[in-house]
Amino acid sequence: MNDLAAKGKSICEMTQAQLAVLQSLTENGNDPVRSLARNVLITNGLINYQEPIIFPDETKSLKQRTRYLKTVKPSGLNYLKVFPNPANQFIIVDYNLKEKYKVGQNNDIYITTLDGKRVENKVISKQQDKVLINCSTLPSGSYYCTISVARKPLESLLFVIVQ
């Protein structure tokens, strides 16, 4: 390559001997030399190359663990949705208590910081509704939105405020 640059030639003007050396490097060289040699041969139209597609190994014997900060969801039921996420001025909390709702219970939706400090609280009196919560006074960061039934947390979702 340095010989070509010294003579003022491009990689498209290589001799057959130089191309043979590059072919050998693509088969026996180590990266990044192998990659560079392959790219020069591709540029000269001497090889066709398809980028390999690597699929995940689905023969793993253990289930992959996903890390969540704090999400409480009993038996996969979704009682709570929070959007937009990330939020700016407000969030909309869409809730459906399904069979958990009973008239006269203390049900509420509250917002907490990551360390558990409550910053907003809304009492709810319907089985299903959407609640608009003003977030314009809260600083940027991550928060939890939690719905509780009879003063017991039912589900919490993490959301982000970006001011």
Listed by start position, the domains of the chain span: 2-43, 74-161
Examine the pLDDT at 159 and tell me if it is beyond 60.
yes
Residue 58: the pLDDT is 63
For residue 56, whether the previous peptide bond is cis, meaning omega lies within 30 degrees of 0, is: no
| Packed helices 33-43 and 16-28: angle between N→C axes, nearest 10 degrees | 140
Examine the pLDDT at 63 and tell me if it is beyond 80.
no
pTM of the entire predicted model? 0.53
Architecture of the CATH domain 74-161: Sandwich (2.60)
Q: How far apart are CA 22 and CA 29, in angstroms?
A: 9
Instruction: Report how far apart, in Å, the C-alpha atoms of 88 and of each of 40, 60, 129 are.
Output: 50, 41, 21
Q: What is the pLDDT of residues 89-129, one digit of tens each?
A: 999 999 998 777 777 788 999 999 999 999 999 999 888 99
Output Rg (C-alpha) for the chain, integer angstroms.
Answer: 30
